[in-house]
Amino acid sequence: MDERRIRTFEECSFNAWPARQTRFFGGWVFRLSDGLTKRANSGNAIEPAISFSEVQETAERLYARHHLPAIFRLTPLASPEADVALNAAHYILLDPSLVLVAPLLRVEYAGDVKVDSTPSALWLVGFACAKGIDAAQRANHDRIVSSIATPCAFATLQEEDGTAIGFGLGVYERNAVGIFDVVVTPSRRGRGNGQKITSALMHWGLQMGPERPTCRFAKRTKPPVHSTRAWNFAKRTAIITVYRAPSRRYESSSPARRFVIGKVMVNYH
């Protein structure tokens, strides 16, 4: 996949989950949001223009100043030098990350999914609970969600008695819908509820423009094909992996605890 398209995906991802602060340095962007999510608190390559040793040193100092771990998301835009340097610094690989894409086709849309253009109190509370966001980060999470500048869809799946059991976020930009978070309460998982939410967000995306848009998925760990039902859904919607990071784990022998999270590398001071 060409770097221009990857850069577009990354830019849309940043816009869909805005950081509280950003700093640009040597073709990298450092994002800070008080520690809530790796995407909003990491160093990300855009067009690397200087040696990675300078980037690494600057990032580690910046995040340490803000009492945060230094995180590097290593998409294909980052040079191989970055991976080698972080390996040498004893960063440890944890869960991988994937970016998936599919044509936005018409799919069956369940009427029990409500889609709003702004986040309701029910969505904010329910999403935080299902996602496991602690009380200390709730205000930060709500601020990020409320500051998304591009058109959004906040999907809520409710049972017949009105109980909300699933939530999703879709963001529209550049004739594409980004689906960045779909969560279901633990007791209701494995029943196709996530697919209902995803289908509702895809249906919303079809209403957003005269051209047939595409659909992008930002996914941590495994792609949504770990069950027969999910695998059939993936085939119907023609989901393909656009780019990924290899799953690796580096053991640290230094006093600092360092981690690599999929395409994300973390340094705990």
How do residues 206-217 score in pLDDT, each as one tens digit?
Answer: 888 656 556 776
CATH superfamily of 100-243: Gcn5-related N-acetyltransferase (GNAT) (3.40.630.30)
The percent of residues above 70 in pLDDT, for the chain, comes to 75
How do residues 242-256 score in pLDDT, each as one tens digit?
Answer: 675 432 222 333 434
Q: How far is CA 15 from the centre of its chain?
A: 11
**Residue 128 host element (H or E):** helix 121-131
Nearest to 260 by CA among 29, 1, 84, 23: 84
Average pLDDT over the chain, rounded to an integer: 80
User: What pLDDT, on the 0 to 100 scale, is given for residue 231?
Assistant: 43
Q: What residue ranges do the domains of the chain occupy?
A: 3-96+246-268, 100-243
How do residues 37-79 score in pLDDT, each as one tens digit?
Answer: 888 888 999 999 999 999 999 999 999 899 888 888 888 999 8
User: What pLDDT, on the 0 to 100 scale, is given for residue 232?
Assistant: 56
264-268 sheet: strands from edge to edge? 21-25, 28-32, 43-45, 70-73, 264-268, 257-261
Side chain identity at 17, as an amino acid letter? W
**Residue 184 host element (H or E):** strand 176-184
Mean pLDDT of 13-35: 94
- Measured N-to-C along each axis, helices 80-88 and 52-65 cross at an angle, to the nearest 10 degrees, of 60
**Above 90 in pLDDT, residue 169?**
yes
